[in-house]
A and B are shown apart, each in its own frame.
Chain A
Amino acid sequence: MKGKSKDMGSSHDSEDFIRLYARHEGRLRRYVSALVPEPADVDDVLQETAIALMRKFDQYDPSRPFLNWASRFAFFEVLQHRKRARTRRRHFSRATVEAIARDYQQHEQLAEQRRQALAECLRQLGVQDRRLVELRYASDETVDSLAKRIGEPVARLYRSLARIRRMLADCVRRRLAVET
């Protein structure tokens, strides 16, 4: 099989690429996370995507949005990854991946509004619920370890968190419905 070259372009290009990539990595990661359910796979796909982008960087038209261009590579790597990865890990079906990818850009357009709405909705949570959100999300700790530490049965903690998330999702939706 003919090997592909490690083509990095000129060193000037490399710096431009790094700058662009650094700026957009977070959003690219979110895109991949929507298409790939397993977090470990997300990292693998991103790494492959980054390399592919770097190798093809000389084909990128700087007058165009970087993220649009990069997302196409990411999408391709998602599909490639599905072919390569072992069966033990779960993947969305191909049709699902394509459907999510199609809807993603439109959904993203309201991302900032949703974030602000979420901040507002958080302030409206009851005191206990706020505390749970802080405990769960403001540190690295797993839910199981958290449950042990605060003395709650694990199943009950998962249910509470699910309930809170659902309330937040509902609240965000209603706020956006009002504003749009």
Chain B
Amino acid sequence: MNDSHEAGIDPKLAELLASLIDGSITDEQFAQLDRRLREDPQARRLYLDYLQIHGDLPNLADQMVVEDGWAGLRPTGAEHTSEGAFVGNAPAAWRSEAYATSVVARGRQTARTRLLAGASAVALCLAAVLVWLHVAPMRPKRPEFFATLTRATGCVWDGPTRPQRGDRLAAGGLSLRKGVAEITLASGVSLLVEAPATIELTDAVSSVLNAGRIVARVPPTAVGFAVDTPKVKIVDRGTEFGVSVEPGRETVVEVFAGTVDAELKDPDASVKKRRRLVAGETVRIDASGAVELQRVAFSPERFLRTFSTPSVHEGDELIPFKPSQISSLDVVTAPGRVTIDGDLSDWGRSGMFEARCAEPFGDSCHVHGAMMYDRQHLYVAARVGDPMPMRNVIDPDTDPWSAWMGGSVQLRLSTDRTFGWPVKAAKPNDRRGKPSAQDTSGRIVHLTLWYFQPREQPCLEIRYGMNLDRGVVNPAGWQGAFRKAPDGKSYTVECAIPWTLLGAANDPPRAGDELGLCWTVNWSDASGKRWRGQLVEIKNPPYAARGKTLTFMHAETWGKATYK
């Protein structure tokens, strides 16, 4: 090969690349780098080499730590955590013998813990102490770290191990009382643990879930990763699945992507012991051991969020899905003139629904919503608990169709009195059976309300039909107002929309009508454009649970608006 592999690396270029990677590059250096990359193919090759190294090092570094053990690592200042906890703060931190011993103790203890599963907490602690005392005099074993706590939000840990973000972990049990934690194993597997949960880390390719819920994301290099639960053992065959174990109730295994093998531990004679599950399938094992296999569609949007969102920033946890609990909402007659100013004191309390996001977000992410109407208008009001209220930066002039992602309130409704409820309309491409005139009706509307922060502008986008292929943005005649609460933890939105904009110029809804309605509230992170999660409420009960047909594709999932 005639290339200059043998030539040394240009030190000036190396310095520019180093500054880029470290984030310390100045504007002037950046301009220089840009020019060199533009003009010089060698420079581009080196740049790509550097990027690859920088990208590959995290995984390889993890491997290195496991291989090295303690060999040759110089001790730094010891960092103590609470008594008995064994956590590695950095691979090079030296540990006293007592800590090393407690790892051994816990390692032995896990088998016993299972035997003691039925015992009370006190008995468990006692047993743990006895085991620890028993093995204490033995030679301490070198602990092997094979995992890191890569994310921790609102975590409260029970038991002796209380890791903090960035801490390295060795084999042993962990009990999470509150919060959400992400543990990344050296194999590349990431485990998202939602409290309350009790897990055991065994090694880089297997874990035990005794109670609670985890979602495992398994890269191709770690296929074969296994999660053991009391009732079923799951072996991953590629990508992402969730397991939840409720003591005394049921075990659920859900495959989000790829394939897993589920091996039942106490199978019925009539039930297959091992089955392969693919994406979209869920297995439920109830307390008595009865097994049920469900095939469900799931939300591709939610899934994409998981993949396209960065995995590193603290505070950017995704709000987990929560099944809806409300199936209908009364739309009351407006008591005279409604002033659209973001002040809901003229709304009264009646008819407002309340919904909270799944834990641990229930305290900060919630909604109170209500609707009123008269001959001319539909009125919508919501008070939304939001840690980052009114920050949406998605521009209605350029990207109205993606504005929902930056934080918004969305309504889907039917204004056709002849459609009744439930509404049979569906996205034409997605429906089975004959298409229906309802599918493209202009009386099927999807509303998105958001506050465009750069211009301090309340915005409304309306889409018509289940194809969502025609719509308007900020049409004349609508009024909306947003107000942020003084404590900055919630906002209020109030709007009035003429029936003429909702396809109901003729024959708008009247008292006694029951028509389709569904609410979706979206939350974003501090950027005002990265979606963090949503709450969907007012749903038709058979569709309330996770993963079933999507509300923007099937109006049959919508709940009921009862006009009073």
Contact = CB atoms under 8 A, between A and B. Distances in A.
A joins B in a complex = yes
Interface in B68-113: 68, 72-74, 76, 90-92
Interface in A16-62: 17-19, 21-23, 25-26, 30, 33-34, 37, 39-40, 43-44, 46-47, 49-51, 54
A165 interface: yes
Nearest to B465: A5
B58 A137 contact: yes
Nearest to A96: B38
B42 to A, nearest CB: 10
A72 interface: no
B8 A170 contact: yes
Given A18-B279, A119-B60, A177 B401 contact: no
B279 A169 contact: no
A166 to B, nearest CB: 5
Interface stretch (B18-26, B172-180, B381-389, B512-520): B18-26
Contacts of B550: 8, 11
B355 interface: no
B307 A138 contact: no
Interface in B527-564: 527, 529-530, 549-550, 552-553
How big is the B interface, by class?
A: 35 or more
B51 interface: yes
A22 B239 contact: yes
Contacts of A39: 310
B425 to A, nearest CB: 15
B307 A133 contact: no
A6 B401 contact: yes
B398 interface: yes
B87 to A, nearest CB: 12
Contacts of B430: 8-11
Nearest to A114: B52
Nearest to B217: A22
Given A30-B55, A119-B60, A141-B166, A11 B304 contact: no
Contact of B397 (A1, A4, A131): A1
A126 to B, nearest CB: 10
Contact of B27 (A33, A90, A139): A90
B166 A103 contact: no
Interface in B1-58: 1, 3, 5-6, 8-9, 14-15, 18, 20-22, 24, 27, 30, 34, 37-38, 41, 44-58
A15 B446 CA distance: 24
Nearest to A158: B22
Given A18-B300, A139-B166, A172-B49, A3 B400 contact: yes
A169 B13 CA distance: 13
A93 B44 CA distance: 14
A169 B9 CA distance: 9
B297 A11 contact: yes
B417 interface: no
B64 A22 contact: no
Given A5-B401, A5-B468, A54 B552 contact: no
How big is the A interface, by class?
A: 35 or more
A43 B52 contact: no
Given A11-B549, A47-B309, A50-B308, A100 B48 contact: yes
Determine the main DSSP class of A at the interface with B. helix
A149 B468 CA distance: 54
Contacts of B37: 92, 96, 99-100
Contacts of A43: 308-310, 530
A4 B401 contact: yes
B51 A165 contact: no
A13 to B, nearest CB: 9
Contacts of A37: 20, 30
Contact of A9 (B6, B41, B429): B429
B34 A92 contact: yes
Contacts of A11: 297, 430, 549-550, 553
A112 B20 CA distance: 24
A172 B258 CA distance: 34
Contacts of A134: 61, 64-65, 68, 91-92
Contacts of A26: 219
B469 interface: yes
Contacts of A177: 1, 3, 5-6
Interface string B148-187: 1010000000000000011010000000000000000000
A93 B300 contact: no
A138 B64 contact: yes
A37 B256 CA distance: 31
A180 to B, nearest CB: 6
A133 B309 CA distance: 26
A67 interface: no
Given A18-B300, A162-B15, A10 B429 contact: yes
A28 to B, nearest CB: 10
A84 interface: yes
Interface string A160-180: 011001101110111011001
The 3 closest A-B pairs by CB, nearest first: A177-B5, A162-B18, A137-B61
23 contacts: A7-B469, A8-B300, A8-B550, A11-B297, A15-B300, A18-B304, A34-B47, A47-B304, A47-B309, A90-B27, A92-B38, A107-B48, A131-B73, A134-B64, A134-B68, A137-B57, A138-B65, A150-B92, A161-B22, A162-B14, A173-B9, A177-B6, A180-B1
Given A5-B469, A127-B72, 8 more contacts: A6-B468, A23-B239, A92-B37, A103-B41, A111-B52, A134-B92, A135-B91, A176-B5
